[in-house]
Amino acid sequence: MINHSDLPLCEVCKSDISTNKIVVARGNPNASLMIIGEAPGAKEEEIGQPFVGRSGKLLDKLLINSGIDIALDVYFCNVVKYRPPKNRRPTKREIEENLPWLYQQIKLVDPDIVVLVGTTAVESILRIKTRISFLRGKWIKWEDKIVMPVFHPSYLLRNPSKEEGMPFALSQLDFLKVKEKMDHSEDSSNMSFL
């Protein structure tokens, strides 16, 4: 059992963390697709795995609907490995202190494709501040990976309409593009470069 006191965090951050548990990953460490979220929520902390609460169930649904095998093809993780108190967004400092762990995960899993779920993941990895509604669904070259930002499923839970052009339907199209890229990962056309 790893506990947050093992993380190289400053004393202020440690004292602010309400939990002892850290949440590292779920899925296949040899997967070709890595999904990176923000930080665990209450359910994730309880179970010890990322994306197992309501947001995670919705994310699983989008993946499965797209023909992606979540047990075989996907490795789920987060930028921050413990639950920020009161479900607040992680601070800049927490993100910077956790990033080396995430970089290690990326290096070890070495996925072909990375999906960045929500603003925190996008800003932490790509080091840019842009509206997610502008970036979502676009392929971006980052280091030796191809990366796609998508809406966070918690945003989709707050905007549940499945009508064409609405966030849920757009997200479903994004994951279909991900599946298509997984099936033809050598094709690097239509990509933006940052």
User: What are the structure tokens assigned to 12, written together?
Assistant: 């202020």
Using rule CB under 6 A, residue 44 touches ligand URA: yes
Question: What distance in Å separates the CA atoms of residue 166 and residue 148, rounded to the nearest whole number?
Answer: 18
# residues contacting ligand URA (CB under 6 A): 12
Q: How far is the CB of 110 from ligand URA (least distance, A)?
A: 21
Which residue, among 153, 147, 89, 88, has the nearest Cα to 118 in the 3D structure? 153
Q: How far is the CB of 138 from ligand URA (least distance, A)?
A: 20
Using rule CB under 6 A, residue 78 touches ligand URA: yes
Q: Which residue is nearest to ligand URA (CB)?
A: 37
Among the listed ranges 32-40, 88-96, 160-168, 173-181, the one in contact with ligand URA (CB under 6 A) is 32-40
Q: Are 42 and 15 in contact (CB under 8 A)?
A: no
Among the listed ranges 40-48, 60-68, 100-108, 123-131, the one in contact with ligand URA (CB under 6 A) is 40-48
Q: Which of residues 55-74 bind ligand URA (CB under 6 A)?
A: 55-56
Among 13, 28, 34, 51, binds ligand URA (CB under 6 A): 51
Which residue, among 109, 105, 106, 133, has the nearest Cα to 119 in the 3D structure? 133
**Nearer of residues 18 and 185 to ligand URA, judged by Cβ:** 18
User: What are the structure tokens assigned to 7, written together?
Assistant: 């993380």
Integer-rounded Cα radius of gyration of the chain: 16
The residue whose two tokens read 């999904």 is: 35
Q: Are 68 and 33 in contact (CB under 8 A)?
A: yes
**Nearer of residues 26 and 181 to ligand URA, judged by Cβ:** 26
Among the listed ranges 31-39, 67-75, 106-114, 156-164, the one in contact with ligand URA (CB under 6 A) is 31-39
Q: How far is the CB of 57 from ligand URA (least distance, A)?
A: 10
Question: What distance in Å separates the CA atoms of residue 50 and residue 76, rounded to the nearest whole number?
Answer: 6
Which residues are within 8 A (CB) of 160 and not within 5 positions of it... i.e. 6 or more apart?
A: 168
Binding site for ligand URA (CB under 6 A): 37-41, 44, 50-51, 53, 55-56, 78
